[in-house]
Structure 1
Amino acid sequence: MPQPGLTGSPENSNATPTRRELRAQREAGETREIAAAQAEARAVPEQAAPEQAAPEQTAVQSVVRSVVVDRTFVAVPPAAMPPAAVAPAAGRAAARRPAAVKPPAAPPAARGPKRTRRNSPLTVAVTLLAIPGLFLTAALPAYAFTPGQGVAGAPTAHQRASAEEQGVTVAAGSASIAVARDGFSATTTAQLAERERAAAAEKAADAAQATTAAYAVYGIRADGDDYPWAGKKSGLSPLGYVYGQCVDFVAWRLNRDAGVTGGNWRWTWSNLTPGGGNASEWANAWAGHGWKTSTTPVVGAVAWFNYNHVGYVQSVSANGSVVLEEYNWMGSSAYHTRTIPAGQVPLYLYPPA
């Protein structure tokens, strides 16, 4: 009874063959193929045409069959192989043959002598100067710069000036020199505020004077307006001045104060201001007559302004202000009054003698 597990036993009929068994089977098959090929070669008639055998022999000679038998290579000579087996063997050999090696490339054509590149003298000079400069730059110490003071560690202008001042010797007689002072003093905040208030007040007074003409009375006689020709604006009055002008109103008041209110007028253009009828000429007329003028106001005097205007002084207040009556102030051609500081009137023309 065969032992279980051995090769060929019924229990091991389905066992997988080992690698050694597979290799032996493959080698046995190849041996049988070689033997069959040799037998076919011997059976071929030797009367084959020479012209047909030559190509076959040439093909057979180019193929060498290698068979691996027990890990050794056996070379089969081409002559031993039949012509029928040469073609299949040649095909298999060609399939296993490595790719054809390319023939070596032809050497490159000979070139001329290699040209050497020469640097220009300028390039050489720059190189000789740049290389030492790089070494010198690397050897320089790093300096820290402070804004406004220059290089750190260097004396500033103030320090140099202080060092120079330490060597100055002051003479003994210089201590007795008196320092001269100017007569100017600093303006305080309070003084500046006072000036601003004064300027604002003056500006407000000018604005009030400029708007007073808007309140002049037309048609209806204002209280205190005794000018007999009110409302007239053109032509000459009996006094020789133009109706409704400041000079004609003041000439009327001078006649009224002299006791003349109509008819035989005491003061007219011909004997009051013979040099001209404009208000700007009245001061010269007073000086030509030798009549008194002053900067101190009195009631009944003529308030003379250098901007071609005159008024009548109605009253003088104890606080230094005056009340003026006038016509055509600011071009209104009407009667109105105003109170101003006495100092705003450049000159007072006293009533004529």
Structure 2
Amino acid sequence: MKKSVNPLRVLITVLVVPGLVATAALPAYASTFSSDAQTASSMTTGQSLSVAATAASTTISRDGVTATSDAEMAARKADPARELRVEEYDASGARELGDDYPWPYEASDDEGGGLSPLNYYYRECVDFVAWRLNRDAGSTSAPWKYVWSNLTPNGGNASAWASNWKSHGWPTGSEPVPGSVAWFNGNHVAYVKAVTDDGQVVIEEYNHGSTHKYGIRTIPASSVALFLYAPPR
């Protein structure tokens, strides 16, 4: 007599046995965990990866990292040549030579630039010297002690500075003095940085030779037409 087959047993056999076979065919992995590290090691590749438990809680510092502001982006779009001026100035080494002019990146008059807070055109010889006279008087931010209207009200061009000094009654002379203004006949002024032992003059200037850049030179005192001594403080 043939035994009847229980349908339920057949169903269980069909479902369970293949699963056991498939599980046995899978590669085996060994994992070890400790309080300070997690390691996963593959027996098939012989490779392992260790991840410190503290890594998950590590916070990435973003100190000093800021996004470009809308105002900065607008300034770049309004003056696309500014970035080139920044690169050129930084590469010139002017800061290392002693330049402390606050506006070295601004566009000059030839580049369509405007007036500095001292009311002279940016990066002109007169603006640089006016800045130095302010700095020496302890005025390094607004309200400025010397601006166009009270320093050279009779004309801002370098050629007019000597007559402005005379109009003010401020002293001038042929002897170089540190902190004074070196006035040249060729429509140029510079700042007297120092006087050497042999009587030469170390001058700092902007826009010598129409470059609109900072420069420093040592020249004979006799090459300066007149020295304009610092205004009374």
TM-score tier by shorter-chain length is 0.5 to 0.7
* Equivalent AA in structure 2 for residue 228 of structure 1: P
Matched, 1:263 2:142: yes
Matched, 1:245 2:110: no
Q: Separation in 1 of the partners of 2:121 and 2:143?
A: 19
Matched, 1:236 2:115: yes
Match of 1:299? 178
Matched, 1:332 2:211: yes
What is the CA-CA distance between 1:344 and the residue it aligns to? Answer: 0.6
Match of 1:218? 88
* Equivalent AA in structure 1 for residue 134 of structure 2: N
Does the 8 A contact of 1:218 with 1:334 survive in 2? no
TM-score by length of 1: 0.38
Q: 1:282 aligns with which of 140, 161, 175?
A: 161
* Equivalent AA in structure 2 for residue 331 of structure 1: S
* Equivalent AA in structure 2 for residue 340 of structure 1: I
Higher helix share: 1
Alignment of 1:118-157 (within 5 A): none
Does the 8 A contact of 1:218 with 1:231 survive in 2? no
Deviations 1:253-286 (A, max 9, x none): 0000000111110000000000111000000000
Equivalences, count:
137
Indicate the SS of the match to 1:264: coil
CA RMSD of aligned residues (A): 1.1
TM-score by length of 2: 0.58
**Unpaired runs of at least 5, structure 1:** 1-216
Alignment of 1:54-69 (within 5 A): none
* Equivalent AA in structure 1 for residue 128 of structure 2: F
Match of 1:320? 199
Stretches of 4+ moved more than 2 A in 1? Answer: none
Indicate the SS of the match to 2:105: coil
Which has more radius of gyration? 1
Indicate the SS of the match to 1:324: strand
Does the 8 A contact of 1:312 with 1:325 survive in 2? yes
* Equivalent AA in structure 2 for residue 322 of structure 1: V
Alignment of 1:11-26 (within 5 A): none
Q: 1:309 aligns with which of 173, 183, 188?
A: 188
Q: Separation in 1 of the partners of 2:190 and 2:88?
A: 19
What is the CA-CA distance between 1:219 and the residue it aligns to? Answer: 1.9
Indicate the SS of the match to 1:329: coil
Indicate the SS of the match to 2:143: coil
Q: Separation in 2 of the partners of 1:218 and 1:272?
A: 31
Match of 2:52? none
Percent identity for Structure 1 against Structure 2: 58
Higher relative contact order (CA 8 A, sep 6+): 2
Match of 1:74? none
What is the CA-CA distance between 1:231 and the residue it aligns to? Answer: 2.3
Does the 8 A contact of 1:327 with 1:335 survive in 2? yes
Q: Separation in 1 of the partners of 2:134 and 2:155?
A: 19
Q: Separation in 1 of the partners of 2:197 and 2:224?
A: 16
* Equivalent AA in structure 2 for residue 263 of structure 1: A
